[in-house]
Structure 1
Amino acid sequence: MTVLIQRLGRALAVAIGLAIGLALLVIFVVNRQAPERSDSPPAPMAVAAIEAQPMAFRLEARGHGVARPSETWQAVANVSGRVVERHPALESGTLLREGTLLLALDPSRYELAIAEAEAELTQLESEEANTWRLLDLERQALDLAEQELSRIERLAATGSVSTSQRDAQRRSTVGQRQAVTTLENALALMPAQRERASVRLSQARRDLSDTRFVAPYDLRLGEVEVELHQFVSVGQRLFEADSLAAAEVEARLPFSMVRRLLGSVAPAELPPGSLDLSERIDLDSIEAELELVGAPGVRWEGRVVRVASGLDPATRAVRVVVRVEQPWRDARPPDRPPLQRDMYIRVLLSAPGPEAQLVVPASALHQGELYLADDQDRLVRRPVSVAFQQRDLAVIEAGLAPGERVVLDDMQPAIEGMALSVRRDEAAEARLAARARGEALPGERP
């Protein structure tokens, strides 16, 4: 009996719920309102637009690289000896002027070698003079012997002189001839002996000069590996020094950027037979600006000197070498440090484009389309072909004509043919032209 009552209660609850739901549904249907209809068109959407015009465009290529000195001196001992003189400032990081004596080895061994070679040359000169005098005497004696032999030969022919006397004179004359020939051979060997002695003297003098290490240019010392009174061997590394005349940065830049940039400065016809890239392409027309990464405002002006062989194996980027002359000249540490080894540098290369381009802000592109305003201020969605993008600019290759109005706003929704209220943004046009010329806007990093 209790179970039956419970089942009846649940069924009653379900029936009541259904009844209430049906009642609410009837109420909503009876009281529904039809949608309001308006015969007036929707208000035009207010948008800002610019007028597309060909403008001067400055091509850019951006990349990064590590600074290094243009010339580094690896001082290595060409001769052995004990260090007898060492500059008191011969330490890593020191700046020294050209012509400063940095290091000197014991020169006594090489001074003795020079004295020995000079003495040998003096001796050879004396021997040569004596030999010439002896040769003159021997030639006189030979002339007398030849005359005597001729006289005896005539007498022997008449029987006035014995055969033994004639033979004795012949032997004497041959001996005199041999003496003259010996002296002549000795004189012929004298130039070779003098040359050998001169070579030994020159080598000794070079060895003596190699005992002194003089700064060949203004430099900054790197690692120093030698001390006073230390004995150094031939081939031993002593110290390293970087030239202060110039610094270089081998920047890695995207291939496509470098290709466009070099194409803008290459002549229409390349001179035949030219192998040097600097002769075929005007590298001096490319402006180069370097900036220290992590230190905004620390910049240097440079110039492109060459394009290194091959691409970077890791990034397939082009390796362009940029040189900065006299990087220490205007240094004011710590606000303006000099460009020195191992600094990580951002490089910007730029050159004027060969012709005017149709340029729009990259933000005006919507998945390959531009929003345009037609003559009736209606929205036109136009697919365009983009030649390339540079920073926040897009160069339009096809699909856009000069004088057409490009909508800058990102409209939601963007319905083809919708009415627009177009306002020409002349300030945006001026900013666009300035950016296309490569000019930095106020407060913006170049």
Structure 2
Amino acid sequence: MRHFPYSCLLLPLLAVLLTACSGDDGKTGGPPPAPVHVRPVARADVPRLLHVVGNVKASATVGVKPRVTGEIQEIHFREGQDVREGDPLIGIDPRPFEAALREKRGLLAKSQAQLSKANDDMRRYGKLVGGGYVSREAYEQTATEAAALKATVQSDKAAVESAALDLSYCTVTAPISGRVGALNVDKGNMVKTTDDTPVVTIDTLSPIYVNFSVPEAHLPVILERMRQGKVSIRATPTGGTVESGLLTLVDNTVDTRTGTIRLRGTFENSDRRLWPGQFVEVELPLGVARQALTVPSRAVQFGREESYVYLVGKDDRAVYRKVKVLFEHQGVSVVEGELAEGDRVVVDGQVRLAPGLAVQVLE
């Protein structure tokens, strides 16, 4: 009796199983088409509005420091109060400076009296030296004394002026108009001219500045707009209302580290809606892009080195296209790249896509 090897029986069985697993229709296996939503690439006139984050800054800030050393006797303002230039802020004990002024005035009076006598002596000796009653040397001595006393009088006058100036500094006045902050030194404390901490800080809130930076690529357009006339900008604080101002400064240097240029807007801020230190959203209009190539902003994906979109080709497969976003406006991105008007760009479902992958366009 002959025996057949088991391999001869297993090979046909495996062939049958493979045929059954593959199905009767003979189609090849693979991932199902990825469902996506698409929108057409369009051309449109789009306002070129640059949106950046800015920081509010007082148009002038002064830290008030004493110009004489002494004890604070009076406070003439309330913290958070608006003051005008020249308004008194604090009073320093004036008594030591009043005494110094009286002393300097006394010395001046003494030197003036001595000068008057020296001038009389010089005139009298001048008459006597001509008749030979006094020597030429004695006359010259009186003239020298008169000249020296004249210089002393000038010096004493300067000392009186300096003492009077120090006395006036006992009343510290506001150097600018604005809003005072918190008082850093209380009444009764000694203040010195060498103190680093100001007694109080004054900020000018109207007008007020908004500083912000934009990429240097926008600089030519901004400079051209400013040559044509005033450029309006808008700033919106978090939870606040839109404020309108003017672009008043383009810095003279591009920051080589960040590739940005610093700009400044000036706002009247009469209602005090902008406050120093606030972060605001700045909107800078740069004209209108005519018949620009546009795609929905959610269609643009950002990789490590470039931005891109996925198109749906004629064979319903995903096509990768590199794009450059020029700017955005109300959910629409103006782009440059290998796109054409009417191309179907994917706006939802990009996470499952890869170049050449089959897609299913959903309504």
- Determine if contact 1:265/1:283 at 8 Å carries over to the other structure: no
CA distance in 2, matches of 1:105, 1:309: 45
In structure 1, the partner of 2:183 is 224
Instruction: Report whether the alignment pairs 1:131 with 2:68.
Output: no
- Determine if contact 2:75/2:187 at 8 Å carries over to the other structure: yes
CA distance in 2, matches of 1:262, 1:358: 20
Deviation at residue 226 of structure 1 after TM alignment: 2.8
Deviation at residue 138 of structure 1 after TM alignment: 0.6
Q: 2:50 aligns with which of 60, 64, 71?
A: 60
Q: 1:189 to 1:343 in 2, by over 3 A?
A: same
User: Which amino acid in 2 is paired with 1:73?
Assistant: V
Deviations along 1:374-393, whole A, 9 cap, x unmatched?
A: xxxx9999987745332244
User: Which amino acid in 2 is paired with 1:264?
Assistant: V
In structure 2, the partner of 1:300 is 243
Query: Which entry has the higher C-alpha Rg, 1 or 2?
Result: 1
CA distance in 2, matches of 1:85, 1:286: 47
Instruction: Report whether the alignment pairs 1:106 with 2:40.
Output: no
User: Which amino acid in 1 is paired with 2:274?
Assistant: L
Q: 1:209 to 1:191 in 2, by over 3 A?
A: same
In structure 1, the partner of 2:284 is 349
In structure 1, the partner of 2:173 is 214
User: Which amino acid in 2 is paired with 1:287?
Assistant: S
In structure 2, the partner of 1:289 is 234
Q: Which moved more, 1:128-137 or 1:387-396?
A: 387-396
Deviation at residue 118 of structure 1 after TM alignment: 3.2
In structure 2, the partner of 1:198 is 157
CA distance in 1, matches of 2:292, 2:124: 101
In structure 2, the partner of 1:90 is 78
Aligned residue for 2:172, secondary structure, equals: strand
Deviation at residue 205 of structure 1 after TM alignment: 2.1
- Identify the structure with the greater strand proportion: 2
Q: 1:264 aligns with which of 221, 236, 247?
A: 221
CA distance in 1, matches of 2:210, 2:64: 23
Q: 1:393 to 1:195 in 2, by over 3 A?
A: farther
Deviation at residue 286 of structure 1 after TM alignment: 4.1
Aligned length: 316
User: Which amino acid in 2 is paired with 1:218?
Assistant: S
Deviations along 1:181-233, whole A, 9 cap, x unmatched?
A: 11222233344323322321222122112111222333322231333333333
CA distance in 1, matches of 2:51, 2:168: 48
User: Which amino acid in 2 is paired with 1:347?
Assistant: V
Q: Which moved more, 1:105-114 or 1:380-389?
A: 380-389
In structure 2, the partner of 1:10 is none
Instruction: Report whether the alignment pairs 1:339 with 2:274.
Output: yes
Deviation at residue 304 of structure 1 after TM alignment: 4.1
CA distance in 1, matches of 2:279, 2:250: 20
Q: 1:310 to 1:359 in 2, by over 3 A?
A: closer
Q: What does residue range 224-243 of structure 1 map to in structure 2 within 5 Å?
A: 224-236=183-195, 237-243=198-204
Aligned residue for 1:244, secondary structure, equals: strand
Q: 1:199 to 1:185 in 2, by over 3 A?
A: same
Aligned residue for 1:229, secondary structure, equals: coil
Aligned residue for 1:183, secondary structure, equals: helix
Instruction: Report whether the alignment pairs 1:75 with 2:64.
Output: yes
- Determine if contact 1:311/1:317 at 8 Å carries over to the other structure: yes
User: Which amino acid in 2 is paired with 1:230?
Assistant: N
TM-score between both structures, scaled by the size of structure 1: 0.57
Q: 1:390 aligns with which of 305, 318, 327?
A: 327
CA distance in 2, matches of 1:267, 1:306: 12
Q: Which moved more, 1:303-312 or 1:71-80?
A: 303-312
Aligned residue for 1:298, secondary structure, equals: coil
User: Which amino acid in 1 is paired with 2:216?
Assistant: R
Aligned residue for 1:134, secondary structure, equals: helix
- Determine if contact 1:52/1:406 at 8 Å carries over to the other structure: no
- Determine if contact 1:77/1:234 at 8 Å carries over to the other structure: yes
TM-score between both structures, scaled by the size of structure 2: 0.68
Aligned residue for 2:108, secondary structure, equals: helix
Deviations along 1:379-437, whole A, 9 cap, x unmatched?
A: 99998774533224444446567xx545567699999xxxxxxxxxxxxxxxxxxxxxx
Paired-residue identity, %: 18
- Determine if contact 2:122/2:143 at 8 Å carries over to the other structure: yes
Name the Cα RMSD after superposition. Answer: 4.5
User: Which amino acid in 2 is paired with 1:262?
Assistant: L
Aligned residue for 2:175, secondary structure, equals: coil
In structure 1, the partner of 2:205 is 244
Give ranges in structure 2 of 5+ residues lacking alignment. 1-12, 28-37, 302-307, 357-363
